[in-house]
Amino acid sequence: LAIKAGSAAPIGGMEEVVPPQHPTWGGLVDPVALVFDCDGTLVDTMGGFYTADLRTCHEFDMTMSKKQFYDLAGVPIQEIFRILAEEQGKSPDLDAMAARCKVIADELMVSGPDMIHPVVAIARDAKAKGIPLAVASSGVKPTVTGHLRGHGILDLFDVVVTCEDVAKGKPAPDLYLLAAERLGVDPTRCTAYEDAELGMQSARAAGMTVVDVRRLEGYPTDDYKATE
């Protein structure tokens, strides 16, 4: 991890002292469970989704910058389009936009996205040690489970919760709270793994300790830095 145990990390413009961390997983030294985001955390879908979101916006006479894409990462896609439309004074068919975006994304990633190996390695190591694992994703269940199944890692996870399972998506804590509930564990004793700022807000709001996977050695992209 780039942030060492006991060091200070800037969060929300403030300095936060990071407590001692698990030596290989980051986060809590003795977690009762690990909860993972999917897109940009376990599988490298962000490039494909950026292109799909951008093309969809153009088809519906809307715009989206890369900064907006990363700022809204972790939010359910229909809500992303609603926010963009409201900002631009548009009134598109949000169901149609979401459906079209899925078609484009599926076409772009027909062979499946790559795994993000340093994060999957943490999941595999924890699974081998008997730690319960969950996925808490803003994606739709068929896509999320399809990507995980395609890499043979779906069975690592005891629970998979997605946007259909909650009333409020990230940054609300609902997905992470539901994942902990279905695992039967205290969320404050869980470590969450996220690549998106709003996802990290969601996990922290649920009381979890958060690892920013973008800081892990071997993380595949630093595109998000262009938006900082």
For 24-61, how does the pLDDT look when each residue is reduced to its tens digit (9 = 90+)?
A: 899 999 999 999 999 999 998 888 888 999 999 999 99
Which CB contacts under 8 angstroms, 24+ apart, belong to 65-68?
66/223, 66/226, 66/227, 67/226, 67/227
pLDDT in tens, 127-176: 999 999 999 999 989 989 999 999 999 999 999 999 999 999 999 999 99
The CA-based angle 214-55-104, given to 5 degrees, is: 80
**Residue of 215, 214, 195, 191 whose CA lies nearest to 204:** 191
At residue 199, the pLDDT reads 94
Note the pLDDT tens digit of each residue in 1-14: 443 333 334 445 55
190-194 and 14-17 beta bridge pairing: unpaired
Q: Which residue's entry shows tokens 């996870």?
A: 157
Q: Quick check: pTM over 0.85?
A: no
Contacting residues for 164 by C-beta, under 8 A, at least 6 apart: 140, 141
Q: Which amino acid is at 13?
A: G
Please, which residues bridge with residue 160 across strands?
135
Query: How far is it, in rounded angstroms, from Cα 131 to Cα 138?
Result: 23
